[in-house]
Amino acid sequence: MVISDTVARLSVCLVRLVSATAVATAWSAGAAEAPRHRIPRIDSRITVDGALDEPAWQDAWSTTLDVEVQPGENTPAPARTEVLVFHDEGRLHVGFRAYDPEPTAIRAHLSDRDRLGADDAVGVVLDTFNDERRSYLFLVNPLGVQSDTIETMDDDTPWDGIWASAAAITDWGWSAELEIPFSTLRFQRSAEPQTWGFDAIRLYPRNVAHQMGAFPRDRSNNCYLCQAPKIEGFAGVSPGKNLEIVPTLTASRTDTRGELPDGPMTEGDVETELGATVRWGFTPNLTLSAALNPDFSQVEADALQLSVNRPFAIFFPELRPFFMEGADYFDSTFDVVYTRMMRDPAWGLKLTGKEGRHTVGAYVVSDEVTNLIIPGSESSGFTSLDQPNTSTVLRYRLDIGNRFTLGLLGTGRDGADYRNRVAGVDGDLRLSDRDRVVAQVLWSSTRYPEQVRVDFDQPAGAFDDWAAEVIYEHVTRTWQWWAVYSDVGADFRADLGFMPWVNRTIAEAGGGYNWNATDTSWYSRIQLLAKVGDVVDQTGFLLFHEDVVQLTVEGPLQSHSVLRPSRVREGFDGRVYDFTRVKLHLCAKPNGASHVWLNLIGGGQVDYDNSRPGDFLNLEVGGWYRVGRHLFIEPQIIREEMEVDEGWLYTSTIAQLETAWQFTPRCFIRAIVQHVENLFDPELYSDGRGPEYGNLFTQLLFSYKLNPRTVLFLGYSDSSLATQDYGLTRQDRTIFAKVGYAWVL
């Protein structure tokens, strides 16, 4: 089937599904209404110290978390938890009393924010638009360490809000206070009382990881927020001026060795840069952000990933604050928005928010570098243009009832002799409590510079193509099944996204069964899945076929085990290969201070550099351990080896050790040492590569965070290279500092 036929059929399908809107809306209107609770306004300032001893707490609305929702299915909670809530003009206050039958077993460690590990925690979920689609999650552990995310039906998005918390361990358990400014939240614009979705949770990790909640969960309902209680009040609350100004100063010096191994180390100049980010909530739910000469660098290390024998570009998550905030507004079925493609912005503007049923998001970024992923059906390429570009992203979504969402998405990227445009429509259609359809149709138009066209054999002049996808899923507490159909044309390009695989059509179907734990079960959950999938290019050539069975067991010591055997047929460079593979994953948290894991993948694999079959074994072993409450140690090693008929081909190894001493929840010092070693048999390669390539990276970082944007970083890093001709030799070294201060008005 050609791509235009696919688009036409999916478009008709989407229209027919949308025509059911009136029925679905009426259906949801007749559903049982969630309980409602009024939150009092108490204009009395409190000290956030975790004690809950001010008189205002006595007048707060209160509830208890009587239900265990994981792994137990609406069973009695193993420990008592009280929740207290009130608000004043500018802040929401939430208090917890977490009683514990064995207070000495409380798991609590100091760490950086968003790294709670296996600790006890309490938190609150707020659906501030009451749209049952998106919510804030605020968590705190018994030592006051914070974690916050934006939760949607599909994903949890990292987010750094400015809010206060404190906790205290007592002889009966522990208590916590959360003070959340309304300027941190987005909510409905109304002088009248508002209604928010609400849940409070407690994480109680012991032999298994218990989670308690404020209401029973129906696991056969695919909408968690639709079941949540409602809280009412907040009439006339104000986010204040809702203005945040964050000036930053960065300074660095990099020394480099121009010629390895014997060249001198040349001392670099000290480079300083002033930057500023301004965030203005010009309504309670629409935010405009502007950044001028921002520091878009990141001090967090990327996840470890091997690069040898990987035909497609490797995905790394976004870690830069400017792009992380509001990232969920730009999500869609295809990865059309991947902000790490915006490499070196000089300035940026961003608008995000929601007005009633209308969700909007927009970027305009001036980028000094134009990075390009050149996609394909069997591999992708990469190049970087030494020219600036202007990147634009526009996103709009319309809520229809609490079941349907329709969206528009457009991106644009313009350089001197380069252009890429993407536009499309999408829908998220919750047909029932158990059935959901997600669909998207996209069109792209691209023009590459002449040199890129020649180097990568791309079409001349302007060219365009289509992409379309529809996903159906049915989920109950025990059964699930799904089907996927996806078609991406050979000339489709989403240069602001992450779509390295084009010229392919996917057809997949699968199903599974869950065994849920009872009071006498030794396990927490057992799941058995099976699926079959085909991928062909636009000519019908088989790219990938997989028949797979997957068994997952969750059990004692917070263990999680996965066994995944599969039968694979893979097409590459005109040939089709038959392979058998198996994947094994084991992990456990035997106590509150440790976590260990093992991943093992082995079987047949294509040697993509030389177009031949082989056998590979990939092993990953890692874990972390906390010594006392301050010291964190995380070793990790990934090793992959491959053989072909002629013999051993390569061994690729990454070993990393991270250690950190956390002085307080706001301050730590951390060291990272990472060693990469790639060994090859040059006789089995035709590209002239040597037998050995190595790299050693080290970083020492001091961090102080008064809040996520009032920060001080001081650091040192260096990297060394090695080949068969010389051992590890330092290539560069950098010292850097950053200071930023957030004025919240």
Torsion angle of the four alpha carbons 398, 353, 122, 515, in this order, in degrees rounded to the nearest 10: 30
Asked if residue 144 has pLDDT above 50, the reply is yes
For tokens 């059990």, the residue is 555
For residue 305, the model assigns a pLDDT of 83
Determine the distance from the C-alpha atom of residue 743 to the mean position of all C-alpha atoms in its chain, rounded to a whole number: 28
Strand-pair partners of 604? 615
Phi, psi of 110 (to 5 degrees): -80, 135
Least confident residue range of 161-165, 292-296, 611-615, 623-627:
292-296
Work out the pLDDT band at 304, boundaries 50, 70, 90: confident
Contact 136, 217 (CB under 8 A): no
Least confident residue range of 188-197, 521-530, 617-626:
188-197
For residue 423, the model assigns a pLDDT of 98
Work out the pLDDT band at 298, boundaries 50, 70, 90: low
For tokens 């990472």, the residue is 674
For residue 11, the model assigns a pLDDT of 47
E strands present in 335-477: 345-355, 358-367, 370-374, 381-385, 389-400, 404-414, 419-429, 435-447, 463-475
* Residue in 255, 321, 314, 249 with CA at minimum distance from that of residue 289: 321
Contact 489, 483 (CB under 8 A): no
- Structure token pair of residue 446: 């691209």
Q: Look at residue 353 and give its three-state secondary structure.
A: strand
Asked if residue 118 has pLDDT above 60, the reply is yes
- Which H or E run includes 321? helix 321-324
The mean pLDDT of 497-522, rounded to a whole number, is: 95
Q: What is the pTM of this model?
A: 0.90
* Residue in 449, 328, 429, 321 with CA at minimum distance from that of residue 389: 449
Name residue 102's amino acid. E
* Residue in 132, 198, 129 with CA at minimum distance from that of residue 360: 129
Write the CB contacts of 226 (distance below 8 Å, at least 6 apart in sequence). 28, 31, 34, 132, 402, 433
Name residue 80's amino acid. R
The mean pLDDT of 660-679, rounded to a whole number, is: 97
As a whole number of angstroms, the distance between CA 440 and CA 10 comes to 8
- Structure token pair of residue 537: 């290019």
For tokens 């990953």, the residue is 620
Least confident residue range of 10-24, 48-62, 152-166, 464-478:
10-24
As a whole number of angstroms, the distance between CA 274 and CA 294 comes to 8
Whole-number mean pLDDT of the chain?
Answer: 91
